[in-house]
Structure 1
Amino acid sequence: MANSKVDLILVTFLFCTASVAAGKARLHSTRSSAAADGICKSLVVTQGYACQEHTVTTKDGYILGLQRIPASRSGQSASKPPVLLQHGLVMDAVTWVMNPPDESLAFILADAGYDVWLSNSRGTLSSHQHTSLSPSDPAYWEWSWDELVAYDMPALLQHVRSLTGQNMHYVGHSLGTLIALAAFSHKELVNMPRSAVLLSPIAYVSQMTSPIARSAAENFLAEALYRSGIYEFDLRWEGLVKLLQDICQKPGVDCTHLLTSFTGPNCCLNSTIVDVFLDHEPQPTSMKNLIHLAQMVRDGKISMYDYGDEAQNMEHYGQATPPLYNMSSIPNDLPLFLSYGGADALSDVRDVKLLLESLKDHDGDKLVTQYREDYAHMDFVMGENAREVVYDALMVFLRLQ
């Protein structure tokens, strides 16, 4: 894709963001009819797999959508332990089923005999409900990834274990890895997973090279939007998605490069994946979640949300500064598989090495690392060669646990 077209897209996005902030009004969000049908119906059943839609209610009232693939495409019921797949920021469970069955991790796991569960974080289309709040209420969006650790993850893990009677493997991508690491560092829920697979791990993020993410963090963009009364972050503003789709349909335009400025140069995305991506993604998240991540970029720490003044932090935490998540507190005998890429602009190699340094006392036979020099952030879940590059080793890891 020509640089001028990339610039046009980015400028348009920034203009839309500025317009919303200035007018304090939400533009209409666009979703395809396929997306509105639900993940099971639109993307799983259509590939020949059985699929169940579940709901899970968190202790703070969010009603999460959870999809289950209980059998292989041949109809053979799962004979291996459950696997819970957790997506990253501004994504949902579609992450795991966008590619054809022989390239999508959820389908690969199901065909290998695993009982596959697909989670959707609060705020996404599948998890947009609450017991008392509406997404139009500012209070609905008063959360960051701290709440995903404290509420979403326990509810999801407990639901899967209660229905299957088994501990599960956990697979996370991007923000899905941070949620797991934070929970395990507090020794919460560590008796539930058999193992944890961390694809493009996010923990320390101060070295990220993504120009969009870094510029937004350093210029306090999320904080400014939050102060202006914008509590939900949704990239699917009317007009922007249509612009992207129109540009991507032009001859000679490869929209897989659309993600480069944010994620790094993904090496291995098939251009047809963009159509599926734009039908379902990006998904909404809270502005407060983006503020929390921006704080991590600026501070270089893995800590809870900073309320910005000592009094509020004292009120929430009983101390003037937010508590840290200590990665070295993760149990040394928890089996971990970390896969990271040299071209990743969000999970930078230097940050991953900081994480690995904090895990230096981990039992040697319980920590597996994998490095792919040409992989960027989205290659791990959308790459057409991810099965050979990442998933084959991942499957071996799971079999050994």
Structure 2
Amino acid sequence: MQRIVDNALAVTKESVKTLTYESLNNIARSINGVSALLLTLLPGKASVLEGLHGWELRPTLRAPRFPRWMHNGVSSFNHFIHELSVDSDASSSSGEDSDDAMSTPPPSPLSQTSLRSWASVPANYESHWTEWITLILWWVLLPTRIFLWVPLHLLRLFSRRDSRLSPMSRHSSRPYFSKAIPGKEHHVPNRTTDRRRGVIEDLQLGIEIFIDAIFDFFHKAAHLLLSPSEAFGIVLSWFSSSNHSHSPEGNYDYVLDDETLGDNDSSSPTERTMTSLYNTDTRTCQDVITELGYPYEAIRVVTSDGYGLLLERIPRRDARKAVFLQHGVLDSSMGWVSNGVVGSPAFAAYDQGYDVYLGNFRGLVSRDHVNKNISSKDFWSYSINEHAREDIPAMIEKIHEIKTSELKLYEPNTEEVANEEQPYKLCVLSHSLGGAAVLMYVITSRIEEKPHRLSRLILLSPAGFHEDSNLCFTLIEHTFLLLGPLLSKIVPAFYIPTRFFRMLLNKLARDFHNYPAVGGLVQTLMSYVVGGDSSNWLGVMGLPHYNMNDMPAVSFRVALHLAQIKRSSKFRMFDYGSVKANMEVYGSPEPLDLGEFYGLIDVPVDLVAGKKDKVIRPSMVRKHYRVMRETGVVDASYNEFEYAHLDFTFSHREELLAYVMSRLLLVEPTQTQPVHKKGMKLKKKMETARL
């Protein structure tokens, strides 16, 4: 009787698992299919999706077609699961004959091999009637498949049960349904390269764990009902363990069970469970740099107004040339290393002999400030002015302090170091908002007659002029300028507020990667918001600097400052809203127009624009160049690439890296000259004589 109950529970359990798994699978396929249908109706998707790997749509003269991965009625979800199972089988049985390789299914449509194979598919293969008929038949025959599977699986269980060996130990009397069933491993795929799970995969895992717990409860209850003697023994063991708590025999079984839970591990079970449950990518810039074998150094910089900044470094301490990389809005230093060794500007500069510094603006959700009790309103009360006049000066001065002290240590007999001059050359590579902040920093430093310590500026799609923009940005501009006083009190900054929603975004980014139709639809809609920019917005969402622990944010004042710049059609500093406030800060009733002071820029400037950039259009970068050239004193250059806005940092572009490195190499490091003791003594005598 016990065997019959065990087999019945096993069959029911696996049937419920299969039903729930296939139902979730079908829901995912349906969402994917509906997304594909909607995607075919959206205009301009070909140019928007070209930034995503594997998203090449076939040209047609009549009607829109499905994306390539939707051919033959197979969704990307099943391709993804099947590809993982095939890869795992291939890795476990690498020694099999080559004849078995002929039976393997075609590669995933996201691979290069599949893209080449799709290019050779004849045109008559793209018939949608076969796909729809196959999908309808699959749904119709689903109940039949499930009911046929139950008796076949039951017969297979009985045949396996009879073939098992008769002698069994006491601890091996567990029911057979608790064993792992072959073929079910792919229900929760284990990736070797990316261990992140999406929302759908978390649902699969959670449902499977829940079903196991429910059926385990019913199995134990049935086992106790069918075995009264064993139940009576368990009750007696409870009483004996309470009366003889120091007896090791009474609680031997429980000690054995507790040992299997791993309580002796250094980490707590709760911590391990929460980590394995979240399973998101929370790597930092330090993790990426050190994993690739590069040196790393973290430097905490405190601004004059109390904000704590993280200045990260790939140190080359004896180098006499350094480069400072500054990110843009809603970004961090992760953008400069996100493409690995081959495609990241930070690693390319280090390999060329530069001491690399990665700057981070204020504005992380973690809110690092010397005043631990600072309010949210006060913390987010900053604009681009503070980025340029507080953040960048603090980081540049820290770089100067570090380089001067290190070069004194490594080259003590150098004339420039002995005279406490700047013994190194520092170049800046910045993107978007970082470019506008760097320009503002240089100009304000020159106005205040302070050294900016920079030798060359390389500005990738810099902000500053924004009158040529799309309708969405125009609506945002009017909203901010009209409702600014009210919105600033309600929304001091823009970011994802809680750890749960940040974790959800990270997991959804993984789902968008697993389901290309859904990801393509989200990519297209996001590009519509920014005027059709074809940047890989989904790839940026999946980067680890948007994780559950922290993320870069943008304050309301920064957004309001950009709206003011767009309205005025001038590159101006922040307007505080009243003549009195502006007089206190600038000494004039209006904010400073930085374009009028471009003639103060005394270092070469290389401006780079993207022809496909819809966030900061090439016409606005050309305006920077035109104003600089009109001064007659600024050494400025201008270049354009076939890039969208995020391609400058988050995409692997060899031509951009070659151009950036060529501009950096134009700056020659300071020539070292040995100092003679007699010359130093004579110089000191002359200085004392003058005094």
User: Normalising by the residue count of structure 1, what TM-score does the alignment of the two structures yield?
Assistant: 0.80
* Matched AA of 1:130: H
CA offsets 1:36-91 (integer angstroms, 9 cap, x no match): x6421x221112111111101111111110110015xxxxx663511110000111
Partner of 1:119: 359
* Matched AA of 1:146: N
Partner of 1:196: 457
Query: What is the DSSP-based 3-state SS (H/G/I as helix, E as strand, rest coil) of the residue aligned with 2:490?
Result: coil
Compared CA separation, residues 343 and 45, structure 1 to 2 (3 A) = same
CA offsets 1:327-367 (integer angstroms, 9 cap, x no match): 54344541111110122122212212221111114678932
Compared CA separation, residues 361 and 300, structure 1 to 2 (3 A) = closer
Query: What is the DSSP-based 3-state SS (H/G/I as helix, E as strand, rest coil) of the residue aligned with 2:459?
Result: strand
Equivalent runs, 1:9-20 vs 2, <5 Å: none
* Matched AA of 1:260: S
Partner of 2:439: 181
Q: Mark the runs of 5 or more structure 2 residues left unpaired by the alignment.
A: 1-34, 43-277, 405-423, 668-691
Partner of 2:660: 394
Indicate the structure with greater strand content.
1
Q: 1:53 and 2:295 equivalent? A: no
Partner of 2:397: 158
RMSD after superposition: 3.2
CA offsets 1:179-234 (integer angstroms, 9 cap, x no match): 1111222344554011111001112111123x543321122287266344321221
Compared CA separation, residues 157 and 327, structure 1 to 2 (3 A) = farther
Counterpart CA distance in 2 for 1:313 and 1:3 is 54
* Matched AA of 1:375: Y
Q: Contact 1:333 / 1:363 at 8 angstroms: preserved in 2?
A: no
* Matched AA of 1:231: P
Partner of 1:347: 616
Q: Contact 2:472 / 2:530 at 8 angstroms: preserved in 1?
A: no
Counterpart CA distance in 2 for 1:32 and 1:113 is 37
* Matched AA of 2:334: V
Q: Contact 1:187 / 1:331 at 8 angstroms: preserved in 2?
A: no
Partner of 1:291: 560
Partner of 1:70: 315
Counterpart CA distance in 2 for 1:249 and 1:278 is 20
1:97 equivalent among 327, 337, 360: 337
1:133 Cα deviation after fit: 4.6
Compared CA separation, residues 174 and 61, structure 1 to 2 (3 A) = same
Query: What is the DSSP-based 3-state SS (H/G/I as helix, E as strand, rest coil) of the residue aligned with 2:664?
Result: helix
Compared CA separation, residues 377 and 263, structure 1 to 2 (3 A) = farther
Counterpart CA distance in 2 for 1:303 and 1:339 is 21
Equivalent runs, 1:192-341 vs 2, <5 Å: 192-209=453-470, 211-220=471-480, 223=484, 226-235=487-496, 238-239=500-501, 241=505, 242-252=507-517, 253-254=519-520, 260-261=527-528, 269=536, 274-276=541-543, 279-280=546-547, 283-326=552-595, 328-331=597-600, 333-341=602-610
Counterpart CA distance in 2 for 1:365 and 1:303 is 19
Compared CA separation, residues 327 and 182, structure 1 to 2 (3 A) = farther
Q: Contact 1:61 / 1:130 at 8 angstroms: preserved in 2?
A: yes
Partner of 1:382: 650
Q: Contact 1:235 / 1:283 at 8 angstroms: preserved in 2?
A: no
CA offsets 1:284-340 (integer angstroms, 9 cap, x no match): 121111111111112212222112233433444343322222354344541111110
Counterpart CA distance in 1 for 2:390 and 2:475 is 30
Equivalent runs, 1:364-379 vs 2, <5 Å: 366-372=635-641, 374-379=642-647
- Which is greater in Rg? 2
Compared CA separation, residues 122 and 100, structure 1 to 2 (3 A) = same
Counterpart CA distance in 2 for 1:206 and 1:272 is 28
RCO higher in structure (CA 8 A, sep ≥6): 1
User: Normalising by the residue count of structure 2, what TM-score does the alignment of the two structures yield?
Assistant: 0.48
Q: Contact 2:431 / 2:459 at 8 angstroms: preserved in 1?
A: yes
Q: Contact 1:185 / 1:327 at 8 angstroms: preserved in 2?
A: no
1:274 Cα deviation after fit: 5.0
